[in-house]
Structure 1
Amino acid sequence: MMQQIYPQVQHDFCYELNKDMQIAAAHFVPTDAAGKCRQLHGHTYFVNVTVAGDDLDEAGFLVNFQVLKKLLHDKFDHTVLNDHKDVFNDQDPNFFPTTEVVARTMWETIEMHLETLPSKPTCLQVYVRETPTSYCIYRPKKGKK
């Protein structure tokens, strides 16, 4: 895995954890405006998830790293993103599997899980690097969870 320094999110939580993972996946962007990206192609996505909170669970974790990996890596690795009709579609550009939408979708997936935990941690950002020169960060707007 490529060592990264990620953009920081300023916050007042006691704990912050970051989980890195690589996800090999293919996708296409279903619009002529996407140019070459309209064709099926693949990436090794480098993903970083930032979670923060004030309270630890019964195991002393803010959130278990394995759970974060299961939620994203186990779902998306070695798949065609467009085939995940539960989160992506070919009709609405807000749900095309672009890097921006992938980052937001990963944030939503993580945040939905975190909301079920008694300690109530939160996902501050999801960083998705699609190529060595291109990445996207999704952070929810304050007050818009």
Structure 2
Amino acid sequence: MIQQIYPQVQHNYVFELNKDMHIAAAHFIPHEDAGKCQQVHGHTYFVNITIAGDELDESGFLVNFASIKKLIHKRFDHTLLNDHHDLFSSTDSNYFPTSEGVAKVIWEIVQGELDKKMNKPNCVQVFVRETPTSYVVYRPKHKEGAQ
């Protein structure tokens, strides 16, 4: 894997982990303004997920790296993103499988799993590079009382 440089998110947590992965997937954008991206085409997405927290779990991890890869890579690699009807929409532009939509959906999946953990880590950033010259960063708004 080629080393990537991606934006850093500021936080006050003690621990931060970053999980990188490549996902080969196809998609199309269901909107007339998408131009040629309305046609099915593929990318090798580079994804970086940043998780932060103050407490380790009972096995000494903030989060096990393998569990994050399994959660995201196994689900999306070598798929047509538009076929994930439970995650992406053909009518709600907030859930089109654009880079922005992919980053948001990955955050929702990851944070949903993190919310089940006793040590309560938080996904503070999802970076999705669609091409060598184009990427998106998704950072959730801070919850009231969160760091």
Structure 1 length normalisation: TM-score?
A: 0.97
**1:57-100 CA-partner distances (Å, limit 9, x unpaired):** 11100000011001110000000000000000111111110000
Amino acid at match of 1:25: A
- Poorly superposed stretches of 4+, deviation over 4 Å: none
Measure the CA separation in 1 of the matches of 2:2 and 2:106: 20
**1:24-46 CA-partner distances (Å, limit 9, x unpaired):** 00000011100010000000000
Residue 21 of structure 1 corresponds to 21
Measure the CA separation in 1 of the matches of 2:133 and 2:29: 19
Measure the CA separation in 1 of the matches of 2:6 and 2:42: 23
Residue 77 of structure 2 corresponds to 77
> How big is the shift at 1:110?
0.3
Please state whether the residue corresponding to 2:82 is helix, strand or coil.
Answer: helix
Structure 2 length normalisation: TM-score?
A: 0.96
Measure the CA separation in 2 of the matches of 1:55 and 1:87: 30
Matches within 5 A, 1:60-139: 60-139=60-139
Measure the CA separation in 1 of the matches of 2:22 and 2:10: 25
> Which sections of structure 2, spanning at least 5 residues, go unmatched?
none
Residue 48 of structure 1 corresponds to 48
> How big is the shift at 1:10?
1.0
Cα RMSD (Å): 1.1
> How big is the shift at 1:143?
2.1
Please state whether the residue corresponding to 2:127 is helix, strand or coil.
Answer: strand
